[in-house]
Amino acid sequence: MYFIFFFLVLGFMGGHLIDLPCPWVVLVGVAMLTLVKVFIENKPGTDVLCHADGPLLILISALCIMIAGVQQTGVPGMLFEFLCGMAPQHSCAKLFTGKKELALLTLFLVILSNVISNVPVVLLVAPNLDEAGSPKNWLIVSWVTTVAGNLTLIGSLANVLVAEKAKERGVTITFWSHFKFASWSTVCTILVGCLLIRYVPC
C-alpha cells in the first residue's frame, strides 16, 4: 500500500511536469488498489468501493454545480471588477501593490471564502486574475483563501468533514467553539504569510 501512496504523492506533485492530469493520477491509484485487493490480498476488487464516501462525493459534485452556476451569473466578475475599480488606475494588478489595496483584497477573499468555501472562491476568482500577472499575486490569493477557510466551521470542506467525523465519535464541534480559537489564529497566520510573500524575495 505504501508504494501506491508514494505514487499518488509523486503524481500530484510532479504530474504537471509531464502534463499528467490529476484525475488520471487518481484513476491509476484506484486501479492499483483494485489489483492489490485481487492479486495480493485475494479479495474481490469491489472491496475498494467500500472505502468510497457517497455523501462526500455528492457534496463535492453539488459544489461543482454550484460553482458553475455562480460563474454564469457574472456576480464574481462584477465583485472583482468593483475591487479593481478601487485600485489605482483601476487596474487589477494594482490590488497587490499598495497596502490599502492588498488589505481590501485580503478582506474580500476571507469573507467570500467563508460564504461559499475557499475552493470555490479560487475557481471563481482565478479567471479574473490573468491581468494580475505576477506569480507572487497568485501566491497571495492561494495563501489567503487556503488559510481563510479555517476562520469558520463552514469555511472549508475539510472543517465540515472533521466536525462530522467527530460527531460520529461523540465529540460535538459547534460553530462558536471552533470560531473562538480559529478567529485569532487565522488572522495572525494570514497576516504573517502575506507579509512574507509580499516582502521576502523568492
Residue 133, domain extent: 74-199
Whether residues 178 and 86 fall in one domain: yes
Whether residues 40 and 84 fall in one domain: no
CA–CA gap between residue 108 and residue 83 (Å, rounded): 9
| Claim: this prediction has a pTM higher than 0.85 | no
Q: Is the pLDDT of residue 185 over 90?
A: yes
Whether residues 18 and 108 fall in one domain: no
* Of 90-99, 121-130, 153-162, minimum mean pLDDT range: 90-99
Whether residues 128 and 91 fall in one domain: yes
All three cell numbers of 107: 478582506
pLDDT digits (tens, 9 = 90+) for 96-152: 666 777 788 888 888 888 887 777 778 777 766 665 556 777 788 889 988 998 899
CA–CA gap between residue 37 and residue 56 (Å, rounded): 23
pLDDT of residue 147: 92
Note whether residue 5 is domain-resident: yes
pLDDT digits (tens, 9 = 90+) for 45-64: 777 777 777 887 887 788 77
Q: Is the pLDDT of residue 80 over 80?
A: no
Whether residues 183 and 83 fall in one domain: yes
